[in-house]
Structure 1
Amino acid sequence: MAPRANWKGFLKVAELVCPVALYTAASTSERITFHTINRATGHRVNRIFIDGDSGKPVEKEDQVKGYEVGPGDYVVLEPEEVAAAVPESDKTLSVDAFIRNDDVDDLYFDKPYYLAPSDRHAEEAFALIRDGMKAKKVAALAQTVLFRRVRTLLIRPHGDGLAATTLNFDYEVRSAKDAFDEVPDMKIKGEMLELAEHIIETKKGKFDPSEFHDRYEAALADLVKAKLEGRKIEPRKEPKREKVVDLMAALRESASLAKKTASGSTKARAERTAAPRRKAG
Structure 2
Amino acid sequence: MAPRAVWKGTLKIAEIACPVSMYTATSTAGRISLNLVNRKTGHRLSRIYADTTTDKPVEAEDQVKGYETSEGKYVVLEPDEIAAAVPDSDKTLKVDSFLACNRIEPTYFDKPYYLLPSDEAGQEAFVLIREALRKRKTAAIAHAVLFRRVRPVLIRAHHDGLIATTLNFDYEVRSAKAAFKDIAKRKIDAEMLELAQHILKTKAGKFSPEKFEDRYEAALADLVKAKIEGRKVIPLRRPEPTKSNDLLNALRESAGAKQARAKGKKSSAAKSKKPAASTQRKAS
TM-score calculated relative to the size of structure 2: 0.88
1:1-281 correspondence to structure 2 within 5 Å: 3-228=3-228, 230-236=229-235, 238-239=237-238, 244=243, 246-268=246-268
Structure 1 position 190, deviation (Å): 2.4
SS in 2 for 1:8: strand
Between the aligned partners of 1:40 and 1:168, the Cα distance in structure 2 is 43
Q: How many residues get paired?
A: 275
> Which whole-Å deviations, capped at 9, do the CAs of 1:147-195 have from their partners, x for residues lacking one?
1111111111111100111111111110112221111122324222222
Distance across 2 between alignment mates of 1:24 and 1:274: 54
Q: 2:102 aligns to what SS in structure 1?
A: coil
Q: Any stretches of 5+ residues in structure 2 without a counterpart? A: 277-284
Distance 1:70 1:86, change over 3 A: same
3-state SS of the aligned residue for 1:246? helix
What root-mean-square deviation, in Å, do the aligned CA atoms of Structure 1 and Structure 2 show? 2.3
Cα separation, partners in 2 of 1:160 and 1:269, compared to 1, 3 Å: farther
Cα distance in 2 for residues equivalent to 1:206 and 1:149: 37
**Separation in structure 2 between the aligned mates of residue 97 and residue 153 of structure 1, nearest angstrom:** 11
Query: 2:20 is aligned with what amino acid?
Result: V
Distance 1:10 1:84, change over 3 A: same
Q: TM-score, normalised by structure 1?
A: 0.89
Which AA in structure 1 matches 2:233? E
Q: CA deviation at 1:236?
A: 2.2
Name the CA distance, whole Å, in 1 between partners of 2:106 and 2:273. Answer: 40
For the residue of structure 2 that corresponds to 1:95, the secondary structure is strand
| 1:194-245 deviations in Å (ceiling 9; x for gaps) | 22222222222222111111122122223333444x3423342545757755
**Is the deviation greater in 165-174 or in 214-223?**
214-223
Q: What is the SS of the residue equivalent to 1:200?
A: helix
Instruction: Give the share of equivalent positions with the same residue, in percent.
Output: 57
Cα offset for 1:269? 5.3
Instruction: Structure 1 unaligned segments of length 5 or more: list them.
Output: 277-281
TM-aligned CA distance change 1:149 to 1:102, over 3 Å? same
Higher mean C-alpha deviation, range 51-60 or range 31-40:
31-40
